[in-house]
């Protein structure tokens, strides 16, 4: 589903991504773990066609995000920690608008919106304006717009930031319910989140992909935490797989 | 075209669901009304067509300010609220975004002008003017306004702050307004160039007098096209830079 080859990203002379290589299979939930400023968002922005890479290649379902961003966008749903919502709109009108711009056929819009609201449990607030909603509900509407056109790839950038513990649990359950239906790339700096949600973890530090963990369940949270701390503190640097 | 219309419809919804649109309509009509009463409906006897010319002259100034106010938030607000991410990660081209925004402001501007028709209609109480003169005058105002909207839209694509984009747009409009003054003090070939680029004095005044000239219509259409294209290129280059 995702193939990233020799990806570099510079902001002036600052190298935000340094020769990143990885691939993700269909249907996986993959966590992108790293400290703040590690390069997670830069990587997601390139995959989300929000930025162009300085060099290298990123393919989504075989489509090069640099060469054909328009087609790549038909394959992704994107959510950030502060979801992009038009707050003066009603939830249902907003989702209908999103469906329209995401190529959902006019005759299917109501059905798609209904399904997305069902999955994210926001039917009760369908007729409320977005500015009237709590952060948790706004985040759900954000997920709703991301999954609306049934994208092959869901890109979630720090989706649980600012949520209270109950909302985090609800959001985690929501992500797990998406398993199998979409490939999910979830970026976070919270280790417990990736261990509870993801099949696989990519650890990124100072712009480099420093480690991949394929057997998250077997390793457990403590060991992953230990690995991550080691990598960040420099004692375990190097590229190897667990 | 469907997406352009969806973006335009959403934007129009914003104008009518927030105070912004109503304030612009109310203030524009209030100022136009005062100017019409003070300068057009004077005690000095005048020909009805002169009253109408005076009305269009005053209205063009108010219309330029209204057009600038309408356009200054179009893209900058999307950027400051990060809602542009939604459009950038959807299968929508930069051209569709810019056209949608432009059309929404233009429709709103035309509605504003239609509401003001009662003022020239008052001339019929004590005088007689040609309907064609009224239509031509409004055509001139709409062409002038659409040009200002395209300039404001371009300024809005450059800045993240609405206020700053308003200032940048105003400076650009003022430059186009003072070209006619500059043309009187510079030597050829700049004299002719500056005289041609004078957005109001050279190109609007014939409409005010009830004269339609294809050359002036083409000038305004070219200004529209140029600044819409500049806005599209600005959005495209911002994606490259990230």
Do A57 and A20 belong together in one domain? yes
A97 touches chain B (CB under 8 A): yes
All residues at 6 or more sequence positions from B59 whose CB lies less than 8 Å from its CB, including other chains: B32, B35, B116, B119, B137, B141
Residue A124 located in a structural domain:
yes
Do A94 and A143 belong together in one domain? yes
- Between chains, do A102 and B10 touch, taking CB under 8 Å as contact? no
Domain extent, residue B175, equals 2-241
Peptide bond into B232 cis (omega under 30): no
Query: Counting every residue, how long is chain B?
Result: 242
Do A160 and A64 belong together in one domain? yes
- Between chains, do A102 and B13 touch, taking CB under 8 Å as contact? no
Domain extent, residue A35, equals 1-75+153-170+180-242
Determine contact, residues B74/B160, Cβ cutoff 8 Å: no
- Between chains, do B85 and A84 touch, taking CB under 8 Å as contact? yes
| Cα gap A199→A219, rounded to integer Å | 11
Residue A175 located in a structural domain:
no
Q: What is the number of structural domains in chain A? A: 2
A100 touches chain B (CB under 8 A): yes
Helix axes B190-197, B162-183, angle to 10 degrees: 130
Count the Cβ atoms, other than its own, within 10 Å of residue B54.
18
Q: Mutation target for B interface from A63, A86, A152, A156: give the one with most B CBs within 10 A.
A: A86
Q: Residues B102-134: pLDDT tens digits?
A: 999 999 999 999 999 988 888 888 888 889 999
Q: Residues A87-137: pLDDT tens digits?
A: 889 999 999 999 999 989 989 999 999 999 988 888 899 999 999 998 888
Chain A: nearest CA to B4, how far in angstroms?
9
Do A115 and A10 belong together in one domain? no
Do A33 and A5 belong together in one domain? yes
Least confident of A157-161, B201-205, B227-231: A157-161
- Between chains, do A84 and B83 touch, taking CB under 8 Å as contact? yes
Residue A21 located in a structural domain:
yes
Q: Residues B30-79: pLDDT tens digits?
A: 999 998 888 777 777 778 888 888 899 999 999 999 999 999 999 999 98
Residue A234 located in a structural domain:
yes
**Average pLDDT of span B208-235:** 94
Q: Mutation target for B interface from A8, A77, A84, A145: give the one with most B CBs within 10 A.
A: A84
Chain B: nearest CA to A41, how far in angstroms?
11
Angle at A142 between CA A136 and CA A143, to 5 degrees: 95
| Cα gap B204→B207, rounded to integer Å | 5
Angle at A187 between CA A37 and CA A68, to 5 degrees: 95
B236 touches chain A (CB under 8 A): no
| Cα gap B109→A135, rounded to integer Å | 35
If you count residue pairs, one on A and one on B, with CB atoms under 8 Å apart, how many are there?
A: 74
**Average pLDDT of span B198-210:** 88
Q: What is the number of structural domains in chain B? A: 1
Is the ipTM higher than 0.95? The answer is no
Residue A122 located in a structural domain:
yes
What are A192's two structure tokens? 């417990």
Q: What is the dihedral of CA A214, A215, A219, A223, to 10 degrees?
A: 10
Q: What is the pLDDT of residue A224?
A: 80
Do A161 and A242 belong together in one domain? yes
Residues (pLDDT < 70) of chain A are 235-242
CATH of the domain at A222: 3.40.50.300
**Average pLDDT of span B171-196:** 87
């Amino acid at each position: 589903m995702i193939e990233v080859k020799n990806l570099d990203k510079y902001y002036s002379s600052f190298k935000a991504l340094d020769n990143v290589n990885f691939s993700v299979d269909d249907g996986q939930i993959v966590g992108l773990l790293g400290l703040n400023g590690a390069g997670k968002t830069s990587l997601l922005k390139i995959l989300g066609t929000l930025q162009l890479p300085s060099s290298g290649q990123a393919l989504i379902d075989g489509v090069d995000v640099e060469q054909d961003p328009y087609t790549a966008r038909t394959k992704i749903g994107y959510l950030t920690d502060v979801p992009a919502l038009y707050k003066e709109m009603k939830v249902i009108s907003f989702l209908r608008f999103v469906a329209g711009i995401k190529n959902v056929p006019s005759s299917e819009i109501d059905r798609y919106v209904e399904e997305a609201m069902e999955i994210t449990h926001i039917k009760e607030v369908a007729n409320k304006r977005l500015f009237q909603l709590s952060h948790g509900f706004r985040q759900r509407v954000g997920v709703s717009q991301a999954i609306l056109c049934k994208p092959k790839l869901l890109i979630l950038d720090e989706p649980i930031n600012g949520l209270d513990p109950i909302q985090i649990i609800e959001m985690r359950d929501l992500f797990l319910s998406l398993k199998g239906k979409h490939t999910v790339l979830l970026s976070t700096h919270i280790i417990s989140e990736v261990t509870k949600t993801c099949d696989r973890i990519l650890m990124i530090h100072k712009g480099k992909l420093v480690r991949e963990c394929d057997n998250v369940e077997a390793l457990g949270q403590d060991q992953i935490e230990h690995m991550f701390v080691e990598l960040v503190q420099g004692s375990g640097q190097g590229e190897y797989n667990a | 075209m469907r997406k352009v219309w969806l973006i335009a419809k959403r934007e129009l919804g914003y104008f009518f669901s927030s105070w912004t649109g109503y304030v612009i309509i109310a203030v524009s009509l209030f100022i136009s009304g005062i100017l019409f009463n003070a300068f057009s409906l004077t005690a000095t006897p005048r020909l009805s067509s002169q009253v109408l010319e005076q009305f269009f002259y005053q209205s063009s100034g108010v219309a330029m300010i209204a057009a600038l106010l309408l356009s200054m938030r179009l893209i900058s607000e999307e950027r400051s609220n990060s809602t542009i991410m939604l459009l950038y990660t959807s299968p929508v081209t930069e051209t569709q975004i810019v056209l949608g925004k432009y059309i929404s402001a233009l429709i709103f501007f035309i509605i504003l002008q239609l509401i003001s028709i009662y003022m020239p209609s008052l001339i019929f109480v004590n005088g007689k003017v040609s309907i064609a003169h009224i239509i031509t005058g409004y055509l001139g105002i709409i062409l002038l306004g659409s040009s200002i909207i395209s300039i404001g839209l371009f300024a809005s694509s450059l800045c993240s702050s609405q206020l700053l984009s308003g200032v940048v747009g105003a400076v650009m409009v003022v430059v186009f307004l003072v070209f006619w003054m500059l043309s009187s003090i510079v030597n050829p070939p700049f004299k002719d160039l500056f005289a041609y680029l004078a957005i109001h004095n050279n190109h609007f005044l014939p409409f005010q007098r009830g004269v339609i000239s294809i050359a002036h219509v083409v000038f305004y259409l070219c200004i529209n096209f140029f600044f819409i294209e500049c806005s599209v290129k600005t959005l495209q280059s911002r994606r490259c830079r990230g």
